[in-house]
Amino acid sequence: MVYHQRVKEFAENEAINQAALEKLEQANEAKSTFLATMSHELRTR
């Protein structure tokens, strides 16, 4: 029974970690887009 609970907890934690990783990747992409846009704006003004 304890083994089953640990496997379940591991699967839940894995899902949480995957969701957090996806959010992190989205934030990083937004940051990169923002910096590229700002860099372009500063160079062309």
In order, the DSSP letters of 1-45 are -HHHHHHHHHHHHHHHHHHHHHHHHHHHHHHHHHHHHHHHHHHT-
pLDDT at residue 17, rounded to an integer: 99
pLDDT digits (tens, 9 = 90+) for 1-45: 888 999 999 999 999 999 999 999 999 999 999 999 999 999 998
C-alpha distances (whole Å) from 21 to each of 4, 8, 28, 43, 44 are 26, 20, 10, 33, 35
